[in-house]
Amino acid sequence: GNSVTQMEGPVTLSEEAFLTINCTYTATGYPSLFWYVQYPGEGLQLLLKATKADDKGSNKGFEATYRKETTSFHLEKGSVQVSDSAVYFCALSGSNDYKLSFGAGTTVTVRA
């Protein structure tokens, strides 16, 4: 079945540092890939998505590129802020699948 593996956290950074969260997946066919963010005390929000190979999703300074050859969808941000402190989830949906499969989540803390 489909599955998502994320790098383990927690990750602690200083403001303006570069952030990378690794995500790799296993799926048949051509899945769609997503990053969700969960701010403290809130539900998950869709951060960005990519629906086909080589697509780049971007939002709020975050980017992720759908790499089919390496089955990866790593999340990056060039200069993080304290407000980026959250839990980040990588997720995928199969090409003919109504289900969304989530990774374990990575907790990111940004210090001033």
Partner 1 sequence: EAQVTQNPRYLITVTGKKLTVTCSQNMNHEYMSWYRQDPGLGLRQIYYSMNVEVTDKGDVPEGYKVSRKEKRNFPLILESPSPNQTSLYFCASRPPGLVNVGEQFFGPGTRLTVL
Residues that bind partner 1 in the complex, under the rule CB under 8 A: 4, 32, 34, 41-46, 49, 89, 91, 93, 96-100, 102-105
Q: Is 58 helix (H, G, I), strand (E, B) or coil?
A: strand
Give bridge partners of residue 18 from the DSSP assignment: none
**Residue 40 Cβ vs partner 1, minimum distance, rounded to whole Å:** 11
The CB-of-60 to partner 1 minimum distance in angstroms stands at 17
Q: What is the nearest approach in angstroms of partner 1 to the Cβ of residue 109?
A: 16
First to last CA, the chain: 41
Q: In the chain, how many H helices and how many E strands?
A: 0, 12
Residue 74 neighbours by CB under 8 Å, 6+ apart? 20, 21, 22, 23, 64, 65
**Between 70 and 96, CB nearer to partner 1:** 96
State in angstroms the smallest separation of the CB of 38 from partner 1: 8
User: In the complex with partner 1, which residue's Cβ is closer, 19 or 89?
Assistant: 89
Q: Which is nearer to partner 1, 82 or 104 (CB)?
A: 104
Residue 67 DSSP symbol = B
